[in-house]
Amino acid sequence: MRFRSFLAPSVALAGGALLCTSGSGKAYNFLGGMLDLGQRDFRVHNNFNDPEANDNTTPSLAFPGQTGAVRAIWAAVAEWGSEPRRDGGGDQHQPGDLGSGGANFDSTFQGLAPDPGGTDDNVFSEITGNSGGVLAFTELPINDGWRIRFYRAPTIWHDGPGAPPGGSDHKDLQGVATHEYGHALGLDHSTNSLDNTMFPGSSGNFYDKRSLAADDIAGVQALYGVRSPAKPHISAFDVLGGQLTIHGTNFAASGNQVWFTPAGQGDGTPVMVQNLTSTQSGTRLDLSIPPGAGSGDLLVRTPGDTGDRLSNAYPADLLLGECPLVESYGTAKVNSLGTSSLLEFSGSPSLAIDNFSLFVTLGGYGSSSGILFHGQTEAATPFMGGTLYSKGPFVRDQTFVFGFFGDVQLPLPISPAMVGQTHHYQLWYVDPGDSFGVGLSNAVKVSFCP
């Protein structure tokens, strides 16, 4: 089979919306090639010169060590991954759902590139000039690698995390990168539905292209195979000193490789530790962190060359280690208004990031006062018509007053003394119409990390 990509060496994405044709069944199409396990790397040459392309400076556990355009592009590639990235967080457009491909396909972030590289060096970068409404293009052939360029003018590239502002030249870097990486991995344009990431156009700023549609998912699965139940899977890691423990499933008894992102610039070849033996029935790998490894993606490759031998890409901050996932549990007591105050959370429980916050959107008792408290041990004790979800001794963190709609924001500054502690937070508030006079929320369990 001749690769059509040789005949059409680049696939460009036009800025304006195109008319969609009606049709049924599949809309995805193939370019005629695919990326083997030696081509799963990608790098970013961050020469994006719009200030808006690098003004998202908020750290994220999902993309350790990177912000701005690099983080946006990393998220774009991660969306094609085989399973939700860590807890699926890291993209405001699709909370909890980053990593939607469901195929035997995962990629590895290999750091920053010093230049745009050649046409098969797997680098994202910006290029000067423009081309008649084309925003970006992917250079092929894909089997040997690819190169993705974004035109500098007239587009104003935005790195998110939210949607770009109005104005036709304002485009979402992540959304367009998600489309272009679809070409890099072997998908041609989808023939219908503006909703598809691989449709060659958008009705707006391409923000909606960040999230794969069912047809895009069907396309990557048809190309690489539906994610195998035997595919290695990383679920967590620990760092202690220079020692790394990786937890997961389906690691080989022997011959495992662990792939790291390099610290600083790399050449696209993962920093690697080879010939590792797993323990605990293929669920654990222990190794020393190799020289040159930096924070980034962690992957495990088991012996063999097929896509089902490479694990998911797990975000790993080798300096901070991993903060345990924050968990919401229990059920809020229904108050005398018939509503219940659902305690939610945002941000990271990391001291280094320090943006953790608890909040209630709706459902508290409007204008009523209350107390945020925590215990250190989980429990479920009936209390005043509701449930106390931790045991004493209780600590009062702060008092608050619900807004008119029963909403409240409770930022929780993290102090060094909190690192290593686990708190089970809950709200107690005044409910004048309740027989006990008391309202209670559900609980949120947080373990603070460095």
Which stretches of the chain bind Zn ion, using CB under 5 A? 11, 13, 200
Q: Among residues 75 and 177, whose Cβ is nearest to Zn ion? A: 177
Token pair 């009062």 is found at 396
Which residue has the CB atom at the shortest distance from Zn ion?
A: 13
Give the Cα separation of 374 and 76 in Å (integer). Answer: 38
Q: Least separation, in Å, of the C-beta of 292 and Zn ion?
A: 35
Picking from 217, 210, 27, 29, the residue whose alpha carbon sits closest to that of residue 105 is 217
Q: Among residues 134 and 325, whose Cβ is nearest to Zn ion? A: 134
Q: Among residues 13 and 142, whose Cβ is nearest to Zn ion? A: 13
Q: Least separation, in Å, of the C-beta of 27 and Zn ion?
A: 14
Give the H/E segment covering residue 369.
strand 369-375
Q: Least separation, in Å, of the C-beta of 413 and Zn ion?
A: 45
Backbone angles phi, psi at 274, to 5 degrees: -115, 170
Q: Which region holds residue 145: left if phi is over 0, alpha if psi is between -120 and 50, else beta? A: left
DSSP 418: G
Question: β-pairing, 170-172 with 156-158?
Answer: parallel
Give the Cα separation of 409 and 402 in Å (integer). Answer: 9
Give the H/E segment covering residue 136.
strand 134-139
Backbone angles phi, psi at 299, to 5 degrees: -135, 155
Q: Among residues 62 and 135, whose Cβ is nearest to Zn ion? A: 135
Q: Least separation, in Å, of the C-beta of 179 and Zn ion?
A: 6
Q: Among residues 34 and 276, whose Cβ is nearest to Zn ion? A: 34
Q: Among residues 40 and 179, whose Cβ is nearest to Zn ion? A: 179
> Hey, how many other C-beta atoms are within 10 angstroms of the C-beta on 342?
17
Picking from 298, 171, 307, 144, the residue whose alpha carbon sits closest to that of residue 236 is 298
- For the chain, the first-to-last Cα distance in angstroms comes to 53
Q: Least separation, in Å, of the C-beta of 180 and Zn ion?
A: 7
Question: β-pairing, 271-276 with 256-262?
Answer: antiparallel
- The packing angle between helices 173-184 and 214-224, to 10°, is 30
Q: Among residues 12 and 410, whose Cβ is nearest to Zn ion? A: 12
> Hey, how many other C-beta atoms are within 10 angstroms of the C-beta on 67?
17
Beta strands in 211-362 (DSSP E): 233-240, 243-249, 256-262, 271-276, 284-288, 293-301, 314-316, 327-329, 344-346, 357-360
Enumerate the H helices of 113-203 as residue ranges: 173-184
